[in-house]
């Protein structure tokens, strides 16, 4: 398990045509001073913001992270985006910006009631 990789998600968006994203278990990030998002790769000293064409290149890639301020609040009871701490909302928005899709759901725990629907993808 690692930090969110926006490079691979942008690649998935292009390949699969996804239009929405579900962010699950963001509650596990609570209590961290900073949260990271992989925004690019270092490939042999060169910054690239795309998924490499070959497995050999991918093996040589090192993640480049953007760091965002974390949050200390317990968010397991949150039922809408506006009730998230500001830094958690900023994280959700930044993921959406980097991937280029809307966040349609986010979850703050393992229970069904902890999955928050922002936008129905079925209608």
**12-65: pLDDT as tens digits:** 999 999 999 999 999 999 999 999 999 999 999 999 999 999 999 999 999 999
Rounded to the nearest integer, the mean pLDDT of the chain is 95
pTM here? 0.93
Q: What is the DSSP string of 34-100?
A: EEEEEEEEEETTEEE-S--SSHHHHHHEEEEEEEEE---S--TT--SGGGS-HHHHHHHHHHHHHHT
Catalogue all structural domains in the chain, each as residue range(s) with its CATH number. Answer: 4-117 (3.90.170.10)
């Amino acid at each position: 398990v690692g930090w969110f990789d926006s490079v691979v998600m942008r690649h998935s968006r292009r390949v699969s045509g996804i239009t929405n994203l579900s962010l699950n278990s963001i509650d596990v990030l609570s209590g961290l001073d900073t949260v990271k998002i992989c925004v690019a790769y270092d490939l042999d000293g060169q910054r690239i913001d795309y998924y490499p064409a070959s497995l050999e290149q991918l093996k040589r890639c090192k993640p480049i992270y953007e760091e965002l301020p974390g949050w200390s609040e317990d968010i397991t009871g949150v039922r809408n985006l506006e009730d998230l701490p500001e830094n958690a909302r900023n994280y959700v928005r930044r993921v959406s910006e980097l991937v280029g899709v809307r966040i349609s759901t986010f979850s703050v725990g393992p229970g069904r009631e902890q999955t928050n629907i922002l936008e129905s993808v079925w209608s």
